[in-house]
A and B are shown apart, each in its own frame.
Chain A
Amino acid sequence: EVQLVQSGAEVKKPGESLKISCKGSGYDFATYWIGWVRQMPGKGLEWMGIVYPADSDPRYSPSFEGQVTMSADKSITTAYLQWNSLKVSDSAVYYCVRRSSNTFLLSPFDSWGQGTLVTVTS
Chain B
Amino acid sequence: EIVLTQSPATLSVSPGERATLSCRASESVSRNLAWYQQKPGQAPRLLISGASTRATGIPARVSGSGSETEFTLTISGLQSEDFAVYYCHQYTNWPPSETFGQGTKVEIK
Question: Which residues of A pack against B, CB within 8 Å?
Answer: 37, 44-47, 49-50, 59, 61-62, 95, 100, 105-110, 112-115
Specify which of B36, B43, B102 is in contact with A113 (CB 8 Å cutoff): B43
Chain B hits for A95, CB < 8 A:
43-44
Task: Determine if B97 and A61 form an interchain contact, defined as CB atoms under 8 angstroms apart.
Answer: yes
Closest residue to B85 on the A side, CB-wise? Answer: A44
With A and B bound together, what is the CA distance between A95 and B43 in angstroms? 8
Residues of chain A lying within 8 A (CB to CB) of residue B49 = 100, 107-108, 110
Please give me the residue from chain B that is nearest to A50 by CB atom: B96
Out of B32, B38, B46, B95, which one reaches A109, CB within 8 Å? B46
Contact A44 B45 (CB under 8 A): no
Inter-chain CB contacts under 8 Å: number? 56
Please classify how large the interface on chain B is, using the bins under 10, 10 to 19, 20 to 34, 35 or more: 20 to 34
B74 close to chain A: CB less than 8 A: no
Binding site for A on B (CB under 8 A): 1, 32, 34, 36, 38, 43-46, 49, 55, 87, 89, 91-92, 94-103
A108 to B67, CA, bound (A): 16
- Beyond contacts A44-B100, A47-B100: 6 other A-B pairs, Cβ-Cβ < 8 A, are A45-B38, A45-B44, A49-B96, A109-B36, A112-B44, A115-B43
Name the residue on B nearest A101 (C-beta). Answer: B49
Residues of B with C-beta under 8 A to A62? 1, 97
Q: Are A105 and B94 in contact (CB under 8 A)?
A: yes
Q: Are A108 and B34 in contact (CB under 8 A)?
A: yes
A49 to chain B: closest residue by CB: B96
Q: Is B91 a contact partner of A112 (Cβ separation < 8 A)?
A: no
**Residues on B with beta carbons closer than 8 Å to the beta carbon of A49:** 96
In the complex, are the beta carbons of A106 and B100 less than 8 A apart?
no
